[in-house]
Amino acid sequence: MTSATGRHLVDHHCHGVVLRDLDRTEFERLLNESGGPSPLGTSLFDSMIGLAVRRWCAPVLDLDPLVTADDYLARRRDLGFTEVAGRFLRESGTECFLVDTGYSPDAISGSAELARLAGGRAHEIIRLEGLVEDLLVAGVGAHELPERVARALEETTAVGAKSIAAYRTGLELPTAEPDAGDVARALDECEPTSAGAYRVAHPVVTGWLAWAAINAGLPLQLHVGYGDKDANLREGDPLLLTRFLRATEEHGVPVLLLHNYPFHRNAGYLAQVFDHVFMDVGLATHNTGALSAAVIRESLELTPFAKLLYSSDAFGLPELYHLAALLFTRGLTTLLDTLVDRGEAAPADADRISALILRENAQRVYSKI
């Protein structure tokens, strides 16, 4: 029904690409959410995402599907990182990237560079914890900060804001805007490291920041579920957000639950019952490779079609933008084609649903893109 070529995806959550050549260890470190291959294990190519790279990325580098990992990586180095990045980003069919530029443990591209390499457009998503940490580093005082943050969110060119409360203080965000005095006191308690950096991890601060985005009318992205081991996955269940969602619904500002796996059914429930809740299965899609179809299917059980978005959550490896786009589009299209074949949806339904999920929902939610 929907064609695999000529995709015009909006990727509503991704990061930048690493712009240098990588040896095998460096490549494997960026492949999944572990810190690299285990001394007790084998190569991380021995995984669903490893198979997917060999199957679906090799042909983009003019290789046969399923070449060995070493042959794949040799070809990658021969072509050079710029050519490789450009090929995968263009191949992804992504027209518009919403880029979280707040996470850069490695030297990665900014959003403009990403857009240029892809031949597409990019917008920034402002990371809330990063915003306040930058202001603290700049020496802005605790009592001045709330107004400075509010103004920054009003004036930003970013099209949305992202909270990583899940990594800092958990998802049980407050059901009302924290009191200004409490915020000032919590900010006062933030101490810099010896290097002069800040790491905001106070529940009053993360709660206040989430509410600040709501008050500014900026779509609020929340890290939920699957990620690296710095977060405790148990505390990443989107149902922990229920009270916050109940409290914020009347504000009419979109709240976007990112990743969600393995709690994507829970996220689908929230997207059904709360007017302002949206979800995706980013990161999980490319990590589960050929098995991602089941994850996509489960995410559609309860979620209205207007509430599911596409995201890659790709970081670092340009392969991941391509894999996420290909696997999500393929999984969704296959599911919809099956419904059409069985007479459970009309061809026009499949086209419409596909367009909503791959592009139009994001265009409606992020009014500035």
The whole-angstrom separation of Cα 199 and Cα 191 is 8
Nearest residue (CB) to its own copies, 136 versus 323: 323
Nearest residue (CB) to its own copies, 71 versus 113: 71
The whole-angstrom separation of Cα 92 and Cα 296 is 18
The whole-angstrom separation of Cα 259 and Cα 315 is 13
HSE-CB at 44 with a 13 A cutoff on CA atoms is 20
Nearest residue (CB) to its own copies, 104 versus 334: 334
Degrees (nearest 5) of the Cα angle 243, 248, 253? 140
The whole-angstrom separation of Cα 277 and Cα 238 is 11
Nearest residue (CB) to its own copies, 131 versus 296: 296
Q: Is 266 helix (H, G, I), strand (E, B) or coil?
A: helix
CB of 146 to its own copies, least distance (A): 27
Nearest residue (CB) to its own copies, 188 versus 275: 275
Nearest residue (CB) to its own copies, 266 versus 311: 266
Cβ–Cβ under 8 Å, residues 2 and 354: yes
Residue 63 CB-density burial (10 A; 0-12 exposed, 13-18 middle, 19+ buried): middle
CB of 242 to its own copies, least distance (A): 5
CB of 43 to its own copies, least distance (A): 8
CB of 338 to its own copies, least distance (A): 9
CB of 198 to its own copies, least distance (A): 23
Alpha helix locations (H) across 175-238? 180-188, 203-216
CB of 353 to its own copies, least distance (A): 7
